Amino acid sequence: MANSGVTQLVGFRFRPTDQEIIGFFLYKMVVEKRPLTSMPPYNKVIHKCNLFGNKREPSEIWRDYGGDQLKDQYLYFFSELQRNDLPIQRKTGLGTWSETVTYQNVKEEVDEINGKSNLDVIGRKRKFRYENGSTSEDHAGWLLDEHSIFKKACKNGTSSNCYDFDVVICRLRRKGNVDKVREKEEVLFSRSITQEDEKRSIYKGDEN
Span 197-207, pLDDT tens digits? 455 444 445 55
Looking at the 3D structure of the chain, how many domains does it have?
2
Q: In whole angstroms, give the CA distance from residue 145 to residue 91.
A: 15
53 within 8 A of 85, measured Cβ to Cβ: no
Specify whether 85 is located in the same domain as 184.
no
Determine the structural domain holding residue 40 and report its residue range.
6-175
What pLDDT does 176 receive? 77
Do 160 and 205 lie in one domain? The reply is no
Beta strands in the chain (DSSP E): 46-48, 75-80, 91-92, 95-99, 104-107, 121-131, 142-154, 167-174
Q: Are residues 169 and 184 in the same domain?
A: no
Q: Are residues 183 and 153 in the same domain?
A: no
* pTM for this entry: 0.76
pLDDT in the model for residue 68: 85
Q: Are residues 170 and 205 in the same domain?
A: no
- Listed residue (7, 121, 144) closest to 67, CA to CA: 7
Q: What is the CATH number of the domain that holds 90?
A: 2.170.150.80
Specify whether 108 is located in the same domain as 205. Answer: no
Whether residue 168 is found in the same domain as residue 181: no
Dihedral angle sign, alpha carbons of residues 32, 97, 15, 22: positive
Regions of the chain where pLDDT drops below 70: 1-9, 85-86, 111-117, 153-161, 177-208
Same domain, 110 and 190: no
User: Does one domain contain both 108 and 120?
Assistant: yes
Round to whole Å and give the CA distance between 86 and 78. Answer: 21
In a domain, 1, yes or no: no
Residues 11 and 189: their CA atoms lie apart, in Å, by: 16
Q: State how far the Cα of 207 lies from the Cα of 61, in Å rounded to an integer.
A: 58
